[in-house]
Structure 1
Amino acid sequence: MSTQAASSVAEPGNRRILLVEDEQTIAGVVRDYLLKAGFQVDIAGDGFAALGLAASRQPDLVILDRMLPGLDGVEVCRRLRKSMGVPVIMLTALGTEDDRILGLEVGADDYVTKPFSPRELVLRVKSVLRRSIKEYTPEPPVEVSGFVLDPASRTVTHHGAPLALTVREFDLLAFLLRRPNQVFSREELIKAVWGWDFGDLSTVTVHVRRLREKIEDNPTRPELLKTVWGVGYRFDSGDSHAGK
């Protein structure tokens, strides 16, 4: 695809957002900010309606409230993950670390804690979408330790078997596969992969754990994505010269 065509894919007007929020005032404010930013917006007021709209409208991103009537946001996110790879930003009024981690563990790509700035939310939406858009020009596929990563299709296989990864999981694995045997702190990863200058570092920890569950034979004793205690993480290719 040409650069011009790729650019048009990234334009907000070509991107559809599903906003799942049962508080009408909040939904209205967020909708207005998203529309002003040029996005198309569908709104669902409960979990079951959200699943129906996601199936019929095929959104590019879902903004999902944690607390919903009928079916809560965690279960909605879990079901979305089973049926589609759409990026999810979770809204939560529960400020505890455990609650934020739960959202990440079921597959949310990002989260925003209430009360929040609608402008910040729009920036988060744009950030997640930028990373979910296919790269049409670019870097060649990466082959490391049985992994084959294709940036054009945003797919990864491990010994020929495809991996089902969320947007952030793909980005994190891609970053590490391109830099085997190099150690990165959580601060470095959250800046390089998430694009945040600051943020909750448990986000990185959760995504590392989720990746291990998908790529390691024994996630509790990882041989590929290793912890370097007191420093951070590295992808161990088994080749001490790789990446140097």
Structure 2
Amino acid sequence: MTSRKVLIVDDEPQIRSILGYIVETTGREWVEAPSAEAAEELLSSQEFALIMLDVMLPGTSGVEWCRQVRARSQIPIILLSALSEEDDRIRGLEAGADDYVTKPFSPREVALRIEVLLKRTNPTNPFISLGRLKLDPASGKVTTPTSSITLPATEARVLETLLANIDATVSSATLLAAVWQTTETVGGREMVRITIHRLRAHLKQAGLGADIIETVRGIGYRVRNINL
């Protein structure tokens, strides 16, 4: 059975309590940790559906722990950062985080981002194909004639959106609305850019030598309908 527990990692007890209450409003349980080291112990002994991770932690930073977790797991990760920590937020996204929430935050927005990140697609239409590339949006699994790879949830949703618009340019604003369900452009375009960069790297690992995702300068991105 899939875990419904969320791991909240923040060195401030009040923030952990607030986030825990928000998690409860989504019908999920939560477990707290004040540091990356404590979180690592919990992650090694329990299963979690999601990690909410502050970028500024005592000891191992949230960004560094995010990188360590992503190296061995595709568990969804939401970063928590103050507006003044933009560089850390970008490094966290580059390290593999799926989304970020800035402090101070809106409880309703946080709850929505949790739901969006854990949302599963309609099982009546489980696969999307482009030539011999096949995407299972629910699991994030991409298969080609030579290999397969499982994408993180956010990258899978980005690829799903692009595949649904073959040869059409999808703007960054459209991706933000479809994948993250936000119209916030401050930091949003950078989040899209970093996610596309990670997605391209993963598709290359799956044996796709050609860069099927094109950047349309000043507008957005496009998947080419090529023979795979």
| Normalised-by-shorter TM-score class | 0.7 to 0.9
CA distance in 1, matches of 2:223, 2:128: 14
SS at match of 1:95: helix
Q: Are residues 1:214 and 2:216 paired?
A: no
Give the direction of change, closer, same or farther, for the CA distance of 1:71–1:148 in structure 2 (3 Å limit). same
Deviation (angstroms), 1:237: 2.1
Query: Normalization by structure 2: what TM-score?
Result: 0.87
CA distance in 2, matches of 1:25, 1:208: 35
AA aligned to 2:161 is F
Q: 1:174 aligns with which of 160, 172, 175?
A: 160
SS at match of 2:84: coil
CA distance in 2, matches of 1:216, 1:155: 14
Superposed CA offset, 1:84-110 (max 9, x none): 211110001253543322111111111
Equivalenced residues, count: 222
Residue 183 of structure 2: aligned partner:
197
Asked whether the 8 Å contact 1:87–1:166 carries over to 2, the reply is yes
Residue 163 of structure 1: aligned partner:
149
Asked whether the 8 Å contact 1:225–1:235 carries over to 2, the reply is yes
Query: Normalization by structure 1: what TM-score?
Result: 0.81
The answer for unaligned runs of 5 or more in structure 1 is 1-7, 240-244
AA aligned to 2:191 is T
CA distance in 2, matches of 1:164, 1:153: 7
RMSD of aligned Cα (Å): 2.4
Asked whether the 8 Å contact 1:92–1:100 carries over to 2, the reply is yes
Asked whether the 8 Å contact 1:183–1:234 carries over to 2, the reply is yes
Q: Are residues 1:234 and 2:186 paired?
A: no
Q: Which moved more, 1:29-38 or 1:163-172?
A: 29-38
Deviation (angstroms), 1:206: 0.9
CA distance in 1, matches of 2:138, 2:195: 22
Superposed CA offset, 1:156-183 (max 9, x none): 1234322242111111112212322111
AA aligned to 2:82 is A
AA aligned to 1:105 is E
CA distance in 1, matches of 2:164, 2:107: 35
Asked whether the 8 Å contact 1:212–1:222 carries over to 2, the reply is no
Asked whether the 8 Å contact 2:8–2:52 carries over to 1, the reply is yes
The percent identity for this pair of structures is 37
SS at match of 1:171: helix
1:13-52 correspondence to structure 2 within 5 Å: 15-52=4-41
CA distance in 2, matches of 1:116, 1:89: 13
CA distance in 1, matches of 2:111, 2:104: 14
Residue 130 of structure 2: aligned partner:
144
Asked whether the 8 Å contact 1:216–1:224 carries over to 2, the reply is no
Question: Which structure has the bigger radius of gyration?
Answer: 1
CA distance in 2, matches of 1:222, 1:229: 19
AA aligned to 1:18 is L
SS at match of 2:71: helix
Asked whether the 8 Å contact 1:176–1:234 carries over to 2, the reply is yes
The answer for unaligned runs of 5 or more in structure 2 is none
Give the direction of change, closer, same or farther, for the CA distance of 1:36–1:236 in structure 2 (3 Å limit). closer
1:180-191 correspondence to structure 2 within 5 Å: 180-191=166-177
